[in-house]
Structure 1
Amino acid sequence: MSPSRQKDAAKPRSYVFCYYVSGHGYGHATRVVQVASEILSLSRKHILYIISNAPRFIFQGAIDRGAKYRHALIDAGVQQPRAYTVDRKQTIDDLKAFLQNRPEMITREVGWLKEVKADVVLSDAPFLPCAAASAAGIPSSIVSNFTFDAVYNGLCEGDDLDVTIRQLVEQVVEDYKKSDLLIRLPGYIPIPSYNGTQLYPDSSVSIKPVKLLNGCSATIGINHLNGFDFALTKHHGNVIDVPLVVRKSITPRDVFLSSLGIPREIHETHKILMVSFGGQNLVGMKEWGNPLPSGWIAIVCGGDPETLPEKFYKCPREAYIPDLTNAADVVMGKLGYGTCSECIGHEKPFIYVPRPQFIEELGLRRLMEMQGSCVEMQKEHFETGQWKKYILQASCMPGACEDVSKRLSHDGGKVAAKLIEKFLDARVMTIRKSKNISGSVPNNPILI
């Protein structure tokens, strides 16, 4: 090889990232925006596509940084009549129909991945993109705290539908197994395609590497990245735990609350409850009487302002939710990753209505118990406006893990971005060595 070609081969590469995002709920999208933005902020000026059936506006933060958005049906999702219930039969019917079209969808995605010259597929957390990446001959990484095979398995109830569920889930697991890496977010549950993954221990969050049955796991912080060598690990089976991926508030509290039309004399003299369920679950609340303690107001995400009683305010769809979380004294909603991480990140106590059909909730509840503060509210009490005792109980909690030594850091997006770049560098180096090509991707120090 000529000296000029050797020099070019040694240059750090820019990569093409294809980030597939489930359209089920906004939690996937909010954390993807954070990770994608960190990837696009890296010095190598990578190219990043976001592929999802979720609407474009949810990803605007990453799009503003240069991400390219493509709308495509890439997962079956979960059917939810309400924020905390699942239509079990319709969910499984949708999964069955989705899998029947799997071959055509994989062919479509393989063609597109080759067209954009993709280097890696990231998944949060559809299964089909992992299979498409494998068919296209490129690596893939799951970036999530759960995968949908566990969610579908969690819908088994001991009846005839269970047989269908287990049969369908077998294909889902096989597709996830085609991934090369699991970047596991806090609040995780067992990942069926990665043997040995398990919940946090009961006593404390483990920050030590845990040896898994089929690979390695390491809890990686920003200070550990230089020492982590993908070249020493095998591919499928790598499980790497990262810190919390958290969106942080950017607007001062009083400025944000005034922008919602809440008079200063109100928001300076009242405590604030953030209701993150949206209006679909608050129909008929005018008949409840006032569900708030004295001296409180509430801000509702979504919903029709005409249905809201006195002391309730609507938060517009385009509002940046971490600003609302930061402005609130207590947050009420469901156990979703975005809500939990932002409550922890802003040290806000959380009231949640349980969702027994969502197995993901097990990991997120554990996360809130260990890293934040939470109170469980009975569904019947939520639906009849019996909120006061829960609000008062939560308002006395600290909102964060009181043992500072056990707190997770909140730079998971930055850590994940660096890890994936390092993973791709190691892969390029391995390929070059296998082809006996001189020159390699340098193991440059990672500077933050």
Structure 2
Amino acid sequence: MIAPHLAYFVSPHGYGHAARSAAVMSALRRYLPLVQFEIFTQAPDWFFQDSLGGNFGYHTLMSDVGLAQKTSLVEDIPETLRRLANFLPFDQIRVEGLAGQVTQLGCRLVICDIAPLGIAVAKAAALPAVLVENFTWDWIYEGYLAGEARLSPYINDLRAWFAAADYHIQTEPVCRPQPAHLTVAPVSRSSRTPAAETRQKLGLPAQAKTVLLTMGGIPWDYNTFLGRLVDQANVYFVIPGGSERMERRDNLALLPHHSEFYHPDLVNAVDAVIGKLGYSTLAEAYHAGIPFGYILRPHFRESEKLAGYVNQHMNSVAITAAQFESGEWLSRLPELLALPRVERRESNGADQVAQFVVGLLN
């Protein structure tokens, strides 16, 4: 059997798009064990290595601008505009060069997780373009348009590119439902290690209440409340990005930003997650069935849509950015930990996307 080659253009905005893409690639491997992925992104290669274990090509590319961030919760619109000016409109020589590259690599189609450059490359290479999204950037930028009119031409340009995709897949929670070829359940990477084994490696008691704190792909300073966590009797906290090396301190398991622990395994091993309301954290907590203490991003348009989905489909507690930074959220911790786990029976959206793509290849 000839191994099919697929190009995957991934937005480097945070880790959510990389996580969703890795979940789809892992699912595709279950149907097409010999499939070879050519990944174009600035999301770190270690992220895909951890998720896929190899057998992919990695090509460093500014595939998307997304939003520049000051912190995990605060956007930087002036910097976003500066980057957009260097990104759009696409340089035709650059597009044709990338089209030649994916053709030379033998790619049969191009999948884009809201990276619009991939759609342009697919068109230039005469390959099918598959758009996977729960929002597109034109819709996100519209939320800032009242305060920054200079976004308008980029909105129009991006809207046209996203509309040019040959196949359109939306993943729940969908921010702007549109006619699409497929709408699927939340897409997440699956855990690989039993919860008890993960807890043992972390040095945590098997039955103790444990909470995962996560702010996504952008580093966060937890020192504003870290000292107060040790006062939480009989509750343990796992904090990726809490230290430059793995460290056990009282009831804290502090991990580096990139550690030996696979993030879905951490989610599977805890009793609740508290963190930024982002797509991959939501999807992983959803499929694990655990309560989610979610932190809204007040100006980011996706947040309101994700919060509506969480409130309807998950056991959850809403936490403001100010409450999180000050540590006031600790007063809500008993409420969060009292919520029950939900047993999920539906399939992961990654499998639904993979089946659709396999159908295109056949």
Residue pairs, 1:11-410, within 5 angstroms: 15-43=4-32, 45-61=34-50, 63-64=52-53, 66-100=55-89, 102-156=91-145, 158-159=146-147, 161-162=148-149, 164-190=150-176, 197=177, 212=179, 238-260=180-202, 262=203, 267-268=205-206, 270-277=208-215, 280-286=220-226, 289-290=228-229, 293-304=232-243, 310-316=250-256, 317-318=258-259, 319-400=261-342, 409-410=346-347
Q: Does 1:423 align with 2:328?
A: no
The C-alpha deviation readout for 1:289-308, integer Å capped at 9, x for no partner, is 34864321211111326999
Select the structure that is richer in strand. 2
The C-alpha deviation readout for 1:218-244, integer Å capped at 9, x for no partner, is xxxxxxxxxxxxxxxxxxxx4311223
Query: What's the % identity of the aligned pairs?
Result: 25
The C-alpha deviation readout for 1:31-67, integer Å capped at 9, x for no partner, is 2112112223324733321111111110014542522
The C-alpha deviation readout for 1:340-378, integer Å capped at 9, x for no partner, is 111111111011111022222233222222321221112
Aligned to 1:314, the other structure's residue is in SS state strand
CA 34–292 in structure 1, closer or farther in 2 if over 3 Å, else same: farther
* Letter of the structure 1 residue corresponding to residue 222 of structure 2: L
Whose radius of gyration is greater, 1 or 2?
A: 1
Q: How far apart, in 2, do the equivalents of 1:416 and 1:423 lie?
A: 11
CA 115–14 in structure 1, closer or farther in 2 if over 3 Å, else same: same
Contact 2:90–2:117 (CA under 8 A) maintained in structure 1 = no
Q: How far apart, in 1, do the equivalents of 2:327 and 2:3 lie?
A: 54
Consecutive unaligned residues in structure 1, runs of 5 or more: 1-11, 191-196, 199-211, 213-237, 402-406, 426-448
- 1:254 to partner: Cα distance: 2.9
Contact 1:244–1:409 (CA under 8 A) maintained in structure 2 = no
- 1:100 to partner: Cα distance: 5.0
- 1:150 to partner: Cα distance: 1.6
- 1:253 to partner: Cα distance: 2.3
Aligned to 2:48, the other structure's residue is in SS state helix
Q: Does 347-356 or 371-380 show the bigger shift?
A: 371-380
Q: TM-score of the superposition, structure 2-length normalised?
A: 0.90
Q: TM-score of the superposition, structure 1-length normalised?
A: 0.73
The C-alpha deviation readout for 1:390-425, integer Å capped at 9, x for no partner, is 211111223438xxxxx6723322221121121243
Q: How far apart, in 1, do the equivalents of 2:91 and 2:248 lie?
A: 44
Contact 1:291–1:388 (CA under 8 A) maintained in structure 2 = no
RMSD: 2.5
Consecutive unaligned residues in structure 2, runs of 5 or more: none
Aligned to 1:184, the other structure's residue is in SS state strand
CA 103–348 in structure 1, closer or farther in 2 if over 3 Å, else same: same
- 1:14 to partner: Cα distance: 5.6
Contact 1:249–1:326 (CA under 8 A) maintained in structure 2 = yes
Q: How far apart, in 2, do the equivalents of 1:395 and 1:71 lie?
A: 41
Aligned to 1:387, the other structure's residue is in SS state helix
CA 283–103 in structure 1, closer or farther in 2 if over 3 Å, else same: farther
